[in-house]
A and B are shown apart, each in its own frame.
Chain A
């Protein structure tokens, strides 16, 4: 009995202790010991300079990695880049928000005023039947509905319109005033930065991952943008080496003042600059040689030689010639080259009195093509044969254009189809339909992906640069042939340089390969 009693007491005590242990509150977080991270070594050799070859508003920072990045303690997880902001920057940001809010309010006011005026107009004229406006109001006890009468709605609308009409004209002035204050503050920005380190704050402008020793603080040139970086202004930077615990970090020395500004020459494009200069001289040299009467040989282009035959065939068959300028705009060089070929084709067409059809994809291309064809008819001495509808606009939707041109091919059954210019996914759709219609087809494009399609489906294809050579070849004018010669010499130079580059790269002769490195 005593044993049972003792056992019960022991069990009760044990249970009580267990419950007590379970209900005991957990120790406060502060008292939990976490392994503390020692502060890392700061970055060294921080250099801050204006970013090269840009339009300004950008500063580049480079530094030597912290001794604890990867090696040492290995505790550095990232680098936090800070820039010093004078108090005026905060005030500028606040004013910028105010202007943007005011502009949004102005737009909203204008729209709402229009809606209110329309509603009042409808109400007064009886256009919109007004029975009653019912509002359902849910209360804790019941759902009830109340009705607004007409006079109340009219009064409310009138009041709204009056308030809006009074305030709306004032808003542009307010916005203008805000903008003036903003602009005057903007002018004081360089002076404000000179007050460093008085008053301002350090703000993070970006992060670099561990192992990276470079950061470009590239901002906007628009003062209304949040990440605006002013040019010709003293800027101060520092870089923090940050550990897994954001609070544990090491600040670098502060570097500044540095100013950002736009450059007048992009040094990263020097290789392109020299290439253009040399090629320009080559072109001018060969053009002047051609002018002096030098014999310049140009290899025959089968596609271009076939143009005359194709036009003759169309004349004999009494069928039209379809000329497609592609989907390029008038700014594309391929389209410009195509205009020249169109001019030649139109001249022959005018001489042979054949019909020409030129459906276009772009309205500007249409306008230019009309002028080109008109001039060609004039040159051929047949201005009266020119019809305005020869060149016409179809659509600027790619596949709608395909449908229209394919329709023309199947209805008109042109004897010859000429495709010259920029082509994309529609190339094969057009060329295959033309082949099905039994037309002779001549194509030329500089779009590499489309060349195989044209080669397969067309009788003659001008590959890449042959399209640009076509105008010179067709005209046989010495000046145009001169530029072709310049291209040939430039190609020869490219081949030689490519071989030398291959050898240089193989033997790691970087001095030579770097000569052609375009950095920006």
Chain B
């Protein structure tokens, strides 16, 4: 029964998805949109599971003192810090005790993690966690320079949330992305070594395509290279790409059919 119900559901909904592709009627559209809404609903619940998983893995890392375990504290601080920033916003120009409040909440969580990680002597971190928790509750109760916003998107516009996202998160992401330039260079060096005939052809083709952007060729040579490069890109390259696309398309249809018919059950843990 545990296996049959998911298979029946997959069969029914998979069949409906094929059906709706060929049926443009409003009723079919309505059901399709209704089903798509479920993805958001499931996604929200799954996100909670995801956050819990990240928390458990980070705590476990601290607990078992794995390599570079200290960075897990930064992961947890980032996770809970941004949640706090997202649900709070200041009223005016004054920060008041807000930063102290954030520090107290993070220290509370840190101390709880420390207590969970410690094999013995859990009392001190737990006591400190209690102290920090009381301090954060007191600040939240008496500091009126900021408030919690659970029902509006006020927190998402708060200075601290925006600042951390724009000036910490984005530069880090851009840095990681920029590494791609160096990785492309090293990968190209490996790929273009003329070890055999095919690799040599690859090298020549790559040189022609790259030289298309070289600005100091004369008009005749430049024109010839540009035309050769365009031919390489539009004829052999595109032909190979289309062959892969056709194969992928057929593979997708075949896999989808296998899933719908219950032949492929790998997603249920049964291959």
Q: Which of A312-357 contact B (CB under 8 A)?
A: 330-331, 333, 336-337, 339-344
> For B54, what are the chain A residues with a Cβ–Cβ distance below 8 Å?
392-395
Interface SS of chain B: helix
B244 touches A279 (CB 8 A): no
Binds B, one of A18-26, A83-91, A182-190, A366-374: A366-374
A262 touches B251 (CB 8 A): no
Residues on A with C-beta less than 8 A from B200 are: none
Considering the chains assembled together, what is the distance between the CA atoms of A385 and B66 in angstroms? 19
Residues of B with C-beta under 8 A to A491: 246-247, 250
The SS class assigned to the A binding surface is helix
Interface hub of B23, B190, B256 (most chain A Cβ within 10 A) = B23
Partner of A464, one of B187, B247, B264: B247
Asked if B184 lies at the interface with its beta carbon under 8 angstroms from chain A, I say yes
B47 to chain A, nearest CB (A): 5
Do the beta carbons of A403 and B172 come within 8 Å of each other?
Answer: yes
Does A469 count as interface, using CB distance less than 8 angstroms? yes
A456–B206 Cα distance when bound, in Å, is 14
Chain B, 40-54, contact with A by CB distance < 8 Å: what is the 0/1 string?
001100110111011
Interface check B263, CB cutoff 8 A:
yes
Q: Are B248 and A464 in touch, CB under 8 angstroms?
A: yes
- Chain A: CB-nearest residue to B143: A127
| A119–B30 alpha-carbon span in the complex (Å) | 45
In the complex, chain B residues whose CB is within 8 Å of the CB of A475: 271
Q: Would you give the 0/1 interface string for B62-75, flagging 1 where the beta carbon is closer than 8 Å to chain A? A: 00001110000000
User: Hey, which chain A residues are within 8 Å of B53, CB to CB?
Assistant: 363, 366, 389, 392-393
- Taking CB atoms and an 8 Å cut-off, the chain A residues in 485-516 that contact chain B are 486-487, 490-491, 494
Interface size on A, residues (CB 8 A): 96
Tally chain B residues at the interface, Cβ within 8 Å: 67
In the bound complex, residues from chain A placing their C-beta under 8 Å from that of B250 are: 279, 465, 487, 490-491, 494
> A-contacting residues of B (Cβ < 8 Å)?
18, 21-27, 29, 39, 42-43, 46-47, 49-51, 53-54, 56-57, 60, 66-68, 144, 152, 169, 172-174, 176-177, 179-180, 183-184, 186-188, 190-191, 241, 244-248, 250-259, 261, 263-264, 266-271
20 further A-B contacts with Cβ under 8 Å, apart from A371-B269, A372-B269, A399-B176, are A264-B25, A266-B24, A344-B271, A362-B46, A364-B42, A366-B49, A376-B269, A378-B269, A389-B53, A389-B56, A389-B60, A393-B49, A400-B169, A411-B67, A446-B248, A446-B251, A468-B252, A480-B258, A483-B258, A491-B250
